[in-house]
Amino acid sequence: MAEFKPYTYFQCPCSDNSVSVREVGGANPAGQEETDEDERTFDPRAPRANYSLYPLEHLLYCEDCHQIRCPRCVLDEIVCWYCPNCLFEVPSSSVKSEGNRCTRSCFQCPICTAPLSVSSTEPPPEGLGAEYATVSGTYVLNCSYCLWSSKEIGIELDKPNSVYAQLAKIKNGGEPLLLPKERRKALEERREAGEDGSHIPGSKEEQELDAESHFYNLKSFYQEQLSDSSPAGALGLTGDYGYGSPGALSRIMGLYTSGALGDRKSKNKSGTMREAHDALEGLQITPLSASDAIARLCTSGWEGTASLSQRREQPHNPRFVSDLRPVANLLRTKRSKRCKTCRHILSKPESKVQKTHFRIRLVALNYIPNIAIRALQAPSAPSGLLAPLKPTQFLLTFSNPLFDSVRVNIATPAHTPGRFGSKVTILCPQFEVGANTDVWDEALGESGGKAGSEREKRRTKAEASEGQGQAEAGKIWERGRNWVSVVVEVVPASLRLDGPEFLKSEEQRRDAGPLREDEDVLEIPVFVRLEWEADVAGEEGGGLATGNKEKEVREKRELAYWCVLGVGRIAQD
Amino acid sequence: MSRKPAKGEYIETDTGNKVSRRSQIIGTTNIILGGKTVIQAEVIIRGDLLRTYPSSNPNEKQGTPVAVAIGRYCFFSRGCELRPPGKLYKGSFSHYPLKIADHVFVGPGSIIEAALIGSHVNIGSNVVVGKFAIIKDFVKILDGTVVPANMVIPSFSIVAGRPAQIVGEIAEGEIEGFDLREAYRAVGNS
Amino acid sequence: MSSLKRASTAPPAPKPPVHFAPALVIADNAALTGTNLISIGLHTIIHPRAKLNSTYGPITIGSNCIISERSQIGFQNPPSNSHSEGVFIENGVVIETGAIVEARKVGEGSVVEVNARIGKGAILGKHCKVGALCEVQAGEIIGDFTVLYADGMRRVDRAGIEDLKLKMVGRQTEILRKLIPSNPTKFQ
């Protein structure tokens, strides 16, 4: 079993409609809070909870709304596109026209997804001056991880760069594929030949279309049909205008020219569109007899068939390994994130690919206190599991990143939700955490009033955890410049499913099944409420000519949210 | 241990590097340590696998050839290995220098044969990084990954699997977690 | 910052009888232990900290091989009856860092990648590649040209460039010979 690392997950208020956040701290409805907890305690085991809990690093903070934003309630906007392999930036116009894959030389091995490298088929030159000899000959793509080579599918390249373009022209087996221009020519030639009546329906040559030709034939066929069927004159539009079906076009026009007789006529004139008849027009019939495939299967065996994950990467869904082609790398994006409600940008990376720093980065880590959990004494059981029905104490450390001190109220239901409710007691539900001032600020005595009263000599954590000092209700455990630790006592529930009826909780009676996965993890939902006063500079600066400082208003701010503390696993008894 | 514990596990150099006495560093003249780097016990660094210049141009900058260049605040856990990669290029086989930037953490038992590792990279335990891989900044490689040779891992990725594939992205809030100054301070001679 | 080796207080491990080819490179720090014969062929390179353990069976290594650091050749624990013929490594084999090779035979030109493990009595064919962290069970017979990769996937390599690869290994050994100071007399 992997070691259990205690975690804290925060719930973004966007998903929870019941808990509202009050902006300005007016009359403090403490009573109302109690009912909030009782009625709507957060259940970390609810199926929806999984999607709304995030570790603090994943959360952003909107300064305008003064709210936490999770990845679900931000809008992503793409700053730039780049290839993750060659780190070459691709302009978004290219992405629209050529697709979202790298069009240079970045390919993945179709067998194992490792990167492919280009190498020459000629043996390396020997003797003196070897490094100056130009390498000639053909090139192949090979994978250094599974040793696949494009020779195995019969593809050899002429030059070592612009592999994408070269690959587009070669099929597996070395025969040339057709470019769109050539395809058009070939299509027209075929059509002329076909109109002579000499084409044989069902001939093998025509029926087998690769994906590109198939798409191209179908597209030109439907374009023709549209232009034939939708009347150009009545609507004033040719059939090539957009891809709206003739029915829709005439209906919309009819709305504007309603009542006229000409309207009915235009509807009738739209006519019927037919479907493709043969391969020339894009019809591809699935071969009903699979004898070809079966014959191939018999020769190549199981190793010759492509696995599901290999097939999924290929555009043409091949069955056999010899039909696999190198996969071009998907492009990756750099995205900036915006708050959904106020459209404020929360995170904006540099648009250059090589630069890794952010222009704007409003992360929740810099605004709300981080919570760290640690067992107060080392767990008695060697496996690190919590012993059931034995009171264990945990230390919660709140570290405040703000430049103002914060008053924290924490609350938790008496029993953790779920089938096995463990008893939880917070020994100090209300405390104040100091501001994150620099050491120099303190020393120079600047605005030392806030921090002064709470300044205590900082004991090392090692001393404190040595069992000195009993955890007392109402008192914090330890305090530092900008952090405070408090003790939480937990009595883990027993995981026994048998036992007398009256000892079982209601849920247990309802649901008497065996222990499910992760049901033995002790998770404590905690409701955290922060209050602090922030400096808000006056907005109007026009009138005041003198004075650097505008009127500073201390605004009371509040923030409340649920978090889940994953504390440990309960041992089975 | 035959040495008295009073001497301590780590030797601290004047630039602040903490090197364990039980590390196995070969070819120390060709290794550059940036400063404040921790090298734990049983770490192997092959400084002897130098670039063998092709016979021509002996007049070019010789100086001290560098096999391994490491940045500041790096942390090499127990049992890991740094090895300059080598390949056959234009007929001759040569090793190329391995360059590692700042704040790189390498987990225990990992073997690194990359060409270039960017800054703020966290490599898990028992990871194998293949030859000439390029790892850019702010990358997290999970435990047990095998990075195939020549792979390029772009910035802000989370990489796992064999062969390694990008399985996630680093969130904006996680980039402070890559800082290794605390880890450096925690290493002591006690 | 030199690599200070602490003097071992345990009794020195038994020096095995060895049979070295003349143009051999053995690093000073390599560890050869055991009681059975270890014979190493021409032009082979043994990196520092490689461990050849012949306690439970003889070890034969061909020519032009590269045995990287921290790799362990030879049985680690007493074999069962059927697997006691020792380890035989043919020519041109590359054994990368940290690999554990207990195979009966490793075919010519094979590559055993970083941290791979090959169980006792296994037979590897020619020009195989055992990928990083892959395992070959004891007694398995792997055909020629097989590639093991990922989490146990296998395929047959048909690229047809074995000669090229053997030449590459030859080049590599030439260069490594210049870089690693050899000290065969220490072990004889």
| Neighbour tally for A196: CB within 10 Å | 7
Question: Across A65-136, where does the E strand assignment appear?
Answer: 67-69, 74-82, 89-90, 107-108, 116-120
In chain C, residues with a C-beta closer than 8 Å to the C-beta of B25 are 1-3
Candidates A356, A362, A399: best to mutate against B (most CBs of B within 10 A) is A356
Q: Is residue C105 part of a domain?
A: yes
- Minimum mean pLDDT range among A8-12, A47-51, A223-227, A276-280: A276-280
Radius of gyration of chain C (CA): 16
Provide, as residue numbers in chain B, all residues whose Cβ is less than 8 Å from the Cβ of A353.
154
How many residues would you count in chain B? 190
Query: Element (H or E) spanning A295, and its range?
Result: helix A291-300
pLDDT of residue A24: 39
C100 CA to chain A: closest CA distance, Å? 19
Judged by a CB distance cut-off of 8 A, whether residue C175 touches chain A is: no
Q: Which domains does chain B have, with CATH numbers?
A: 10-50+64-180 (2.160.10.10)
- Considering only residues A174 and A565, tell me which one the structure prediction assigns the higher pLDDT: A565
pLDDT, tens digit, 9 for 90 and up, residues A33-53: 433 444 466 777 777 777 888
Residues lower than pLDDT 50 in chain B: 1-6, 55-56, 190
Name chain A contacts of C159, Cβ cutoff 8 Å: 142, 147-149, 151-152
Q: Using a CB–CB cutoff of 8 Å, tell me whether B163 touches chain A.
A: yes
Looking up tokens 């003249």 gives B29
Which site among C94, C144, C155 would you substitute to test the A interface, given the most A Cβ atoms closer than 10 Å to its Cβ? C155
What strand order describes the sheet that includes A74-82? Answer: A89-90, A74-82, A332-339, A345-349, A358-361
- Average pLDDT over every residue of A246-263: 66
Between these two residues, A31 and A421, which has the higher pLDDT value?
A421
Cα distance between residue C146 and residue C125, in whole Å: 8
pTM of the shown model: 0.81
Q: How far apart are CA A377 and CA A390, in angstroms?
A: 13
Distance of alpha carbon C156 from alpha carbon C162, whole angstroms: 13
Residue C110: inside a domain: yes
How far is Cα A488 from Cα A393, in angstroms, rounded to an integer?
A: 6
Residues of B in contact with A82 (CB under 8 A): 154
Q: Is B67 exposed, middle or buried (0-12, 13-18, 19+ CB in 10 A)?
A: buried
Q: Please indicate whether, in this complex, the C-beta atoms of C1 and B26 are within 8 angstroms of each other.
A: no
Tell me which chain C residues have a C-beta less than 8 angstroms from the C-beta of A149. 158-159, 161
Tell whether A51 is within 8 A of chain B (Cβ).
no
Contacts of B86 in chain C (CB under 8 A): 172, 175
Residue B105: strand, helix, or coil: strand
Q: What is the 3-state secondary structure (H, E, C) of A387-435?
A: CCCCCEEEEEEEECCCCCCEEEEEECCCECCCCCCCEEEECCCEEEECC
Task: Kindly state whether A303 is in contact with chain C, defined as any CB-CB distance less than 8 angstroms.
Answer: yes
Q: What share of chain C has pLDDT > 90, as a percent?
A: 7
Per the structure, how many domains does chain C have? 1
* Close Cβ partners of B134 (under 8 Å, ≥ 6 residues apart): B114, B115, B116, B151, B152, B153
Strand, coil or helix: what is C146? strand
Sheet arrangement for strand C38-40: C18-20, C38-40, C59-61, C87-89, C105-106, C123-124, C141-142
Query: What pLDDT does residue A450 have?
Result: 44
Asked if C1 and B19 come within 8 Å (Cβ–Cβ), the reply is yes
Yes or no, beta carbons of A124 and B149 under 8 Å apart: no
Q: Assess whether pLDDT exceeds 50 at residue A465.
A: no
Residue B89 Cα, gap to closest chain A Cα (Å): 8
Cβ-Cβ contacts under 8 Å for C74 (sequence gap 6 or more): C34, C51, C52, C53, C54, C55, C56, C57, C59, C86, C87, C101, C102
Could you give the 3-state DSSP secondary structure of residue A268? Answer: helix
Of C131, C156, C159, the CB nearest to A149: C159
Q: Is A420 left (phi over 0), alpha (psi -120 to 50) or beta?
A: beta
Using the Cβ of C159 and the Cβ atoms of chain A, whether some distance falls under 8 Å is answered with yes
| C11 or A295, greater pLDDT | A295
pLDDT band, very low/low/confident/very high, at A467 (cuts 50, 70, 90) = very low
Contact at CB, B176 and A365, closer than 8 angstroms: yes
Residue A86 to residue B92, Cβ atoms within 8 A: no
For residue A81, name the pLDDT band (cuts at 50, 70, 90): very high
- Predicted confidence at residue B134, as pLDDT, reads 95
Which subunits count as partners of chain B given 3+ CB pairs below 8 Å?
Answer: A, C
**Is the CB of C69 less than 8 angstroms away from the CB of B81?**
yes
Distance (Å) from the C-alpha of residue A124 to the closest C-alpha of chain B? 5
Of B28, B83, B86, the CB nearest to C2: B28
The answer to whether the beta carbons of residues B130 and B113 sit under 8 Å apart is yes
- Per-residue pLDDT, B160: 94
* Residue pair A459/A478 in contact by the 8 Å Cβ criterion: yes
pLDDT of residue A187: 65
Q: Which residues pair with A408 in a beta bridge?
A: A431, A530
B21: left (phi over 0), alpha (psi -120 to 50) or beta: alpha
Chain B contact present for C161, CB below 8 A: no
Indicate the residue of A124, A146, A151 with minimum beta-carbon distance to C155. Answer: A146
Side-chain half-sphere exposure of B101, counting CA atoms within 13 A: 15
- State how far the Cα of B185 lies from the Cα of A32, in Å rounded to an integer: 47
Q: Identify the sign of the CA torsion A116, A117, A120, A124.
A: negative
Q: With DSSP H G I counted as helix, E B as strand and the rest as coil, what are the percentages for chain B, rounded to 5?
A: 10, 35, 55
**Residue at C69 is within a domain:** yes
Contact between A146 and C160 using a beta-carbon 8 Å cutoff: no
8 Å CB contact between B66 and B30: yes
A135 in C contact zone (CB under 8 Å): no
Q: Residues A308-338: pLDDT tens digits?
A: 888 888 888 888 888 888 889 999 999 999 9
Token readout for A439 is 């050491």
- pLDDT mean over C145-170: 79
Q: Count Cβ atoms within 10 A of the Cβ of residue A345 and give its class: 0-12 exposed, 13-18 middle, 19 or more buried.
A: middle
Own/partner contacts of B19-23, CB < 8 Å, gap of 24 or more, are: B19/C1, B21/C4, B21/C6, B22/C6, B23/C3
φ, ψ of residue A406 to 5 degrees: the values are -125, 140
Q: Is the dihedral of CA B154, B159, B161, B165 positive or negative?
A: negative
A131–chain C Cβ distance below 8 A for any pair: no
Q: Which segments of A445-566 does DSSP mark as H helices, in order?
A: 448-452, 461-464, 506-510
Beta bridge partners, A334, equal: A80
DSSP A200-261: PTT-HHHH---HHHHHHHHHHHHHHHHHHHS-HHHHT--TTSTT--HHHHHHHHHHHTTT-H
Do the beta carbons of residue C34 and residue C77 sit within 8 Å? no
Q: What are phi and psi of A123, to 5 degrees?
A: -70, 150
Question: What pLDDT, on a 0 to 100 scale, did the predictor assign at position A73?
Answer: 87
Quick one: pLDDT at residue A124?
Answer: 60
How far A216 CA lies from chain B's nearest CA (Å)? 34
In this predicted structure, the answer to whether residue C157 has a pLDDT above a threshold of 90 is: no
Min Cα distance A150 → chain C (Å) is: 8
Tens digit of each residue's pLDDT (9 = 90 or more) over A128-171? 555 555 566 788 888 888 888 888 888 888 888 888 888 877 77
Q: What is the pLDDT of residue A22?
A: 38
Residue type, C157: D
Taking the Cβ of residue C60 and every Cβ of chain B, the question of whether any pair is shorter than 8 Å is answered with no
User: In chain C, whose CA is at the least distance from the CA of A151?
Assistant: C159
B93–C69 CB contact, under 8 Å = no
Kindly state whether A107 is in contact with chain B, defined as any CB-CB distance less than 8 angstroms.
Answer: no
Q: Which residue of B has its CA nearest to C47?
A: B46
Under the banding of pLDDT at 50, 70 and 90, the label for residue A237 is very low
Among the partner-chain residues A123, A124, A147, the one whose CB lies closest to the CB of C147 is A147
Measured between alpha carbons, how far is B81 from C98 in angstroms, rounded to an integer? 10
Is residue C150 within 8 angstroms of chain A, CB to CB?
A: yes
Give the mean pLDDT of chain A: 74
Q: Does A332 touch chain B (CB under 8 A)?
A: yes
Residue of chain B with shortest Cα separation from C97: B111
Residues of C in contact with A300 (CB under 8 A): none
Pairing of strands C87-89, A332-339: unpaired
CA angle at B92 for the pair B91 and B97, rounded to the nearest 5°: 135
Contacts of A164 (CB under 8 A, 6+ apart): A102, A103, A104, A105, A107, A328
> What is the full DSSP assignment across A440-462?
HHHHHTTTHHHHHTT--PPPPHH
CATH number at residue C119: 2.160.10.10
Residue by residue, DSSP assigns C13-61 as: PPPPPEEE-SS-EE-TT-EEEESS-EEE-TT-EE-TT-EEEESSS-EEE
All residues of chain B having their beta carbon less than 8 Å from the beta carbon of residue A112 are 148, 163
Q: Which residue among C49, C172, C174 sits closest to B44, beta carbon to beta carbon?
A: C49
Query: Any alpha helices (H) in A60-175, and if so which ranges?
Result: 92-98, 163-169
- For residues A82 and A334, is the Cβ–Cβ distance under 8 A? yes
Better-scored residue on pLDDT, C10 or B103: B103
Q: Does the CB of C135 have a partner CB in chain B at under 8 Å?
A: no
What domain range is C166 assigned to? 18-187
Distance from CA of C131 to the nearest CA of B (A): 9
* Cross-chain Cβ contact A365/B90 below 8 Å: no
pLDDT digits (tens, 9 = 90+) for A493-524: 887 777 666 666 666 666 667 777 777 788 88
Residue C2 lies in a domain: no
- Contact criterion met (CB < 8 Å) for A85 and B152: yes
* Subunit partners of chain A (3 or more CB pairs within 8 A): B, C
Complex confidence, ipTM: 0.87
Chain C positions in Cβ-Cβ contact with residue B144 (cut-off 8 Å):
133
User: Which H helix or E strand runs over A263?
Assistant: helix A261-269
> CB of A114 within 8 Å of any CB in chain B?
yes
| Within-domain flag for C167 | yes
Tokens found for residue A173: 């087996």
- Tell me the shortest Cα–Cα distance from A122 to chain C, in angstroms: 9
CB nearest to B163's CB, from A113, A133, A364? A113
- Interface contact A430, partner C, CB < 8 A: no
Joined tokens for residue C40: 């190493």
**Residue C172: which H helix or E strand, with range?**
helix C162-179
The average pLDDT across A468-491 equals: 80
